[in-house]
Structures are given as C-alpha cells and as structure tokens.
Amino acid sequence: MPVTHTPGMGEWKVVVPRGGRAGARTSAIVHGSALVILLALAWAGYRTWATVLICVFLVVSTPLSWRIARTGIYVGPHGVKIYHPFKRPVVVPWKDIARFEAQPVHAPHLPVVGATINLVGTRTHPTPVKLGRNWRFDAGVHRLGYDIVLTDDEFREALTSLNRAIRPHVTPPSDASTEQ
C-alpha cells in the first residue's frame, strides 16, 4: 500500500538518473521540432492560429516534459519512490521492501528477450528501468524514449546500485533454520 504523504523531491536521492536525462532529451527534441513548425506557420502568415497553437502546445508540453525528466527510481527517508513518465509516482515504505530484481520481458513477435527491474516486497512494483536489446524490440515492448532503456552493462550496474542503496534500510528475512 503506497504511503499517502508524498514528500517533495528534495528529500529523495535519485538512484537511476540516466533515463530521466535521456527522456528529457527525447522530449526536448520532439517538443522543439513541433515548436519550430508552429513558428514557421506564424511566419507564413497564420499568426492568430499559430499563436493559439503555440499557447496550447506550451500548456500541454511543459508538464509532460517535466514528468519525463523526473522518470526514475529515488530513495528517501520514507522508502523508495518509483516515478513513471505517465503514471502517478508510487512510494513504497521500507517495511514493504525486500529487494530489486531483474525479470524477463518477452515479445511474442520477436525472438529476443529483454528484462525489466522490479521492486519486490509484499507486492511486486514495476519500474521504468528496462534492458534494451535492439531498436525493434525496444520500440515494440518499451515506450522508446520515455522508459529508461539501458545496455547490458548499465542494466547490471543499475540493479546493483539499487540493491546497494536500499541495503541500509531493509532488514534481511530471518532464516527459520538458524533460529533453532
């Protein structure tokens, strides 16, 4: 069950930052290109419509760009915050966390297998961190440019970093055989 109080981002340390920057870059390219087209319309004499479209575009694109830039996994005093680009952020309290683990992602129409990192505890929480294979797999399975798509080495490093970051806060499960 997510915590109802979601503290500000200042209390959180980002553990997987790379994808947020890559997503922001993709978002900036897409939004910048659209803005250039709208400005060209204004230059061509469609000033009223171009002005209206630019205003609507900026109102819609600014929050979207901000959400994409914040995509990632954060560790803070209350637990782990998983920030997806198109979903509400989820804060999982420390008491509900066991570990991060990689789980396979299959694409029925492609022969390769990717992976995703999930937060495992009392429930499994998907994260936006994915293992990329090739452009066709990534475009068909992951939201290319919005999820954090990593190479093999980056994916292993992200998984290790995440488990290292939560280690001080998570108590290992007690083994029943050692308690006798």
Q: Could you tell me the two tokens for 50?
A: 């171009």
| pLDDT tens digits, one per residue of 12-26 | 888 876 544 555 566
| pLDDT tens digits, one per residue of 111-123 | 667 788 999 999 9
The pLDDT value given to residue 81: 93
Q: Averaged over 79-102, what is the pLDDT? A: 90
Residue 110 has pLDDT above 90, yes or no: no
Q: How far is CA 45 from the centre of its chain?
A: 41
The bridge status of strand 72-76 relative to strand 79-83 is antiparallel
Are the beta carbons of 2 and 90 closer than 8 angstroms? yes
Residue 138 has pLDDT above 60, yes or no: no
| pLDDT tens digits, one per residue of 151-164 | 888 889 999 999 99
